[in-house]
Structure 1
């Protein structure tokens, strides 16, 4: 019985690890859409805003303001509408975790 319980726990832990890895890959693919303007992993070329290492809460607020039309933009207001609030939070977390 103990061996069976241990195997079940091991399988659950492996499954949870796989789900986390898939989630991380999903967030990374969402963030990749930002690379054209904000650079690979959020490290932009001069003249564009870098996102790497930026404050997560500030990024979420800006994106939600773009999405709601409270912050003027040339394209960000359109792009922000393509993401749920949860996706925006996840993407901001990804960029905040990147080294500047």
Structure 2
């Protein structure tokens, strides 16, 4: 079995607010198993100010495009826990 890729920089910070499990009762959506294109688009939208201002806008501004792509790919590849 192949080892899962190491988490990219910033992933631990994301995991602090975004739950890993399905059906978790929180307004912050889980990222694990989501389509990488959707995650990347959301981050870029936050970064550009296209979404309502939240802490995500400030966080997203700190990521480069390659970091956004790495985070999106990594979270998309994670298994959703029950």
TM-score normalized by the length of structure 1: 0.66
1:33 aligns with 2:13: yes
Q: Report the TM-score, using the length of structure 2 for normalisation.
A: 0.80
Larger Rg: 1
The counterpart of 1:86, out of the listed 54, 66, 70, is: 66
Q: For 1:21-69, what per-residue CA distance to the aligned partner results, in whole angstroms no more than 9, with x for missing partners?
A: xxx5461x42111122113xxx154212100000000110000000000
| CA RMSD in angstroms, aligned pairs only | 1.8
Structure of higher RCO (CA pairs closer than 8 Å, 6+ residues apart)? 2
